[in-house]
Structure 1
Amino acid sequence: MHAQSAATPPLAAVLGDEGLRLFFPLAALHGALWPFLWTVAYSLGMPADGAMPPSLWHATEMIFGTYGAALIGFITTAIPEWTDRPRPKGRALFAFAGLWAVGRVAGLIGDDRLGILGAVADCTWLLALVAYVARNWIARPHVRLFAPLFWLSGLAAAGIAVRGAFLLGDVELAHEAILIAGLVFLGLLGVVLARVTVPVTNLILDPSEATSPYRPHPGRINLAPGLVLAVVLAQMAGVSPAVSGFLLIAAGAAFMDRVAEAFVGREAFRPEILALSSSSLLSGAGLILAGASRLGAPFAETPALHLALMGGLGVGVLSVFAIAGLMHTGRTLPLPRLAVVALVLMVSAVLLRVLPELGVLPWPPGPPYAMAATIWAAAFLVWLKGYWPYLSTPNSEGGGCG
């Protein structure tokens, strides 16, 4: 017993062995605690009275905080898998984590002075992530890394614009840059879903992995990201609300097309496929409603964007957590019960956040959005409870998810 205990590596070594082991738990903790504090503890305002309104701090933290940590974990895990190159470990991962954490301190309290340090930290890790993917593409030019590199570069540019607007105190520019950053993240989500859905669906259809029965149409793989790019370019060009509204509807329809492709027979109702298709469904519905709002529909654009960015991105991130957290820790499908519970909680939180503003449901009791934030936090914490034993203990080499 003593010899076995002595041979067990310390927790820091286990977490630093692969990107998802470190960053998925960090993203889950941030996603659980920060929104809960904003809506419950900070219901009267941010601790620091800065130039930027709390709503912009909140949006920035969700995109570059929760989703940012998930992105670092995914990229530093998936790129080595796709390129068959050594993965970053130890100091490299902890350096990314340190930079990411500095930005989160400023976002927690909304302090403009700390925002300078946070801006430098966030821009550094975003650019470092772009450089990491570019270096791997140069080393393995035959691997299809153009799309991830393109969208990561766009996200880095949007992140720099957001942080620049915060430092200048330009609320209008910050709002526009955050919207573009969220759209870019949706484009990146479309790329990731295209890479992850195929092997996961094939594993479900043929657990022996002897065949590949699921082969989506090649021309539709980049349809959703391509139309999101059209929305981003139109937004940057300052087109009319009508034009951008129609483009948003088209991009949403492309995500809905992903949902249609998920119907592969009765296996389409497996939690793994439902989770991935639900991410596309919420993204598509949110974009379509946002477009409808710009075309004069009788509801605001904000809940529609929450449906896409909170719902589509949130469920997509949690789905990757659940699937990759198994495949990269020596385990395989199906999803454990707690993962399914976490996904149901997240969808419930999104609907509770969005539907009252759309006039579909009455407002729940208590402070505004407090119940939705509580359920949202529970989703991440339930996932973390179920997967922490997998992520924090060493294991033999796992498989992959794309």
Structure 2
Amino acid sequence: MSCGPTAHRRTLTSGLWATLSEEGFRLFFPVAALYAAFYPLLWILAFGLGVPLAETVPPSLWHAHEMIVGAFGAALIGFITTAAPEWTDTEPPRGAWLWRLLALWSVGRGVGFLGWEDIGLIGALADALWMVGLVGWLVHLSLQRRTDRLLPFVFWLALLAICTAVGRFGFHVDSFELASKGIYLAGFAFLGLLGLALSRITVPVTNLVLDPSEETSPFRPHPGRLHLAPGLVFVAMMGEAAGLSDAVSGFLWCAAGAAFMDRVAEGFIGREALRAEILMLAGSSALAGGGLILFGAARLGAFWSEVSGLHVAFMGGLGVGTYAVFAIAGLLHTDQPLGLSIRTRFGANCLVAAVALRVAPDFGVDLPGPMYAVASLLWTAGFLLRLVAYWPAISGRGNLGDDVSA
């Protein structure tokens, strides 16, 4: 008996849902890309820098929270649920486990996207549950496999959960100074996680670039660099929480930024340093480090604002880092060879251009036109270009959909 059109569509849909829930990256990377693409665009063009249901909480705080916990949070879930099983040689979470995480994340976004303060505690609880759930799962894997390899991620995830909770508590009690500090500290916690992720990703990717046969490992960075950037970020965060003077905290943030810049040096591997994969990983570190140095310099009296440095570090460092993980993991985990598509490389350039346009006015560069709107359009285009190129492979319907080039 042949299947009619309706039955055929139902089969394709059920097959897609099953494919997306095979591994965390298949489900959460597209979700993160879509949220990262459209939330800033709506924030500027549709909401006019506001939030529809916000009453007391400043819209800028909701915006910062949703970019950090919302867009980058979904990318974090996809990365952790895919990488941790690979590092511990265990089965990745699949099916209902992943859909539950997505449901919790979605509840938080339903509240944060609209600034729905009346049910703010529900959104806060949902975000806390997926963060604490990831921490508990990583602890379980560590005990099961008797390994300490996951413990740095346990530490930073727990710190992220605490900082996020502080920010949301500030929302609840209308202490916007506390809320602002909690949100910014959550962003710094994400930079700590970024430093850890880059240290794990850069080595195998660089070796694969240098020797595609995987018979040798010519790239072996100094082990002291492994946790240098996250460690100095943590020191600076503790100084921030302790209320150190602007001068002292400024120097601490400059030091943390310098540690990320030190990681950029790992990209100097000869002519292969011009490979798109290496450039994106090094570029993420450069933007994160440069942003922290700008943030610290503002504390020390530079003419630009602290927010300018934060935009470079968060929008640039975390944004490009997230994009790099999307691109590289999307290839390797769908059995594709390295070599990023034209659309993917162009999308990365769009993100960098968006960051430059967003902060240009802060440094006295006056360009014609609505720069914030143009920056948001470039940002949206970057993530959408990657998603279009990535979708055939991630959905199990083919390989990358455009020409691939180094």
TM-score by length of 2: 0.94
Superposition map of 1:301-316 within 5 A: 301-316=306-321
Superposition map of 1:2-401 within 5 A: 10-43=15-48, 45-359=50-364, 361-366=365-370, 369-393=372-396
**CA 1:44/1:127 → structure 2, altered by over 3 Å: closer, same or farther?**
closer
Deviations 1:197-242 (A, max 9, x none): 0000000000000000000000111111110011110001000000
Q: How far does residue 142 in structure 1 lie from its aligned partner after superposition?
A: 2.6
Moved more, 159-168 or 241-250: 159-168
Q: How far does residue 170 in structure 1 lie from its aligned partner after superposition?
A: 1.3
Aligned residue identity for 1:281 = A
Contact 2:49 2:60 in 1 (8 A): no
**CA 1:44/1:324 → structure 2, altered by over 3 Å: closer, same or farther?**
closer
Contact 2:260 2:288 in 1 (8 A): yes
- Identify unmatched segments of 5+ residues in structure 1: 397-402
Contact 1:330 1:395 in 2 (8 A): no
Q: How far does residue 356 in structure 1 lie from its aligned partner after superposition?
A: 1.8
Deviations 1:7-59 (A, max 9, x none): 97611100000000000000011001111111111116321132110110000
Contact 1:329 1:395 in 2 (8 A): no
Contact 1:258 1:280 in 2 (8 A): yes
Where 2:363 maps in the other structure, the secondary structure is: coil
Contact 1:99 1:125 in 2 (8 A): yes
**CA 1:161/1:44 → structure 2, altered by over 3 Å: closer, same or farther?**
closer
Where 1:369 maps in the other structure, the secondary structure is: helix
Identity %: 52
Contact 1:61 1:104 in 2 (8 A): yes
Aligned residue identity for 1:186 = L
Contact 2:49 2:59 in 1 (8 A): no
Deviations 1:257-304 (A, max 9, x none): 011121010101100000000000001110111111000011111111
| In structure 2, distance between residues paired with 1:167 and 1:217 | 45
| In structure 1, distance between residues paired with 2:312 and 2:398 | 37
| In structure 2, distance between residues paired with 1:395 and 1:134 | 36
| In structure 1, distance between residues paired with 2:258 and 2:141 | 33
Aligned residue identity for 2:40 = P
Moved more, 21-30 or 115-124: 115-124
- Identify unmatched segments of 5+ residues in structure 2: 400-406
| In structure 2, distance between residues paired with 1:337 and 1:83 | 34
| In structure 2, distance between residues paired with 1:364 and 1:251 | 35
Where 2:38 maps in the other structure, the secondary structure is: helix
Q: How far does residue 78 in structure 1 lie from its aligned partner after superposition?
A: 0.3
Where 1:356 maps in the other structure, the secondary structure is: helix
Aligned Cα root-mean-square deviation (Å): 1.7
| In structure 1, distance between residues paired with 2:341 and 2:139 | 35
Contact 2:51 2:62 in 1 (8 A): no
Where 2:282 maps in the other structure, the secondary structure is: helix
2:404 equivalent in structure 1: none
Deviations 1:81-120 (A, max 9, x none): 0001111001000000010011111111112013222111
| In structure 2, distance between residues paired with 1:128 and 1:166 | 23
1:399 equivalent in structure 2: none
2:402 equivalent in structure 1: none
| In structure 2, distance between residues paired with 1:26 and 1:71 | 11
| In structure 2, distance between residues paired with 1:44 and 1:349 | 17
Deviations 1:57-79 (A, max 9, x none): 00000111000000000000000
Deviations 1:120-177 (A, max 9, x none): 1111111101111111111112351111111111111111112222122210100000
Aligned residues: 392
Contact 1:83 1:143 in 2 (8 A): no
- Tell me which stretches of 4 or more aligned residues in structure 1 moved more than 2 Å: 5-9
TM-score by length of 1: 0.94
Contact 2:88 2:145 in 1 (8 A): yes
**CA 1:13/1:29 → structure 2, altered by over 3 Å: closer, same or farther?**
same
